[in-house]
Amino acid sequence: MSKKIYVGNLPFSATEEGIRDLFAQHGEVHSVAVITDRETGQSRGFGFVEMEGADASKAIAALDQTEMDGRSLRVNEAKPREKQSSRGPRW
């Protein structure tokens, strides 16, 4: 079963390919997504990596608090996304 990993404090220059290469050292990477700002397209400084369970656990243990381009990464298991509540009309 695959796990989704949260990767925070990414340098704004980080690419999906660079993150994939970093995590691939610890197992097979299924997907990588760097979250970007809708208006500017610039990285928001975090992303997600999907890997198999055992590989994901190894990657989290190995990469949490390691440096990437001078920034200390925060790596942990992603929490499930909460459902958005309906707030009614925006005026």
Q: Domains of the chain: which residue ranges?
A: 2-77
Query: Residues 34-70: pLDDT tens digits?
Result: 999 999 999 999 999 999 999 999 999 999 999 999 9
Query: Residues 8-30: pLDDT tens digits?
Result: 999 999 999 999 999 999 999 99
Q: How many angstroms separate the Cα of 4 from the Cα of each of 27, 49, 51, 66, 88?
A: 13, 6, 7, 19, 31
85 pLDDT more than 80: no
* pLDDT computed for residue 91 by the predictor: 58
Return the CATH fold of 2-77. Alpha-Beta Plaits (3.30.70)
* pLDDT computed for residue 89 by the predictor: 63
* 32, β-bridge pairs: 49
pTM for this prediction? 0.86
87 pLDDT more than 80: no
Grade residue 82 by pLDDT with cuts at 50, 70 and 90: confident
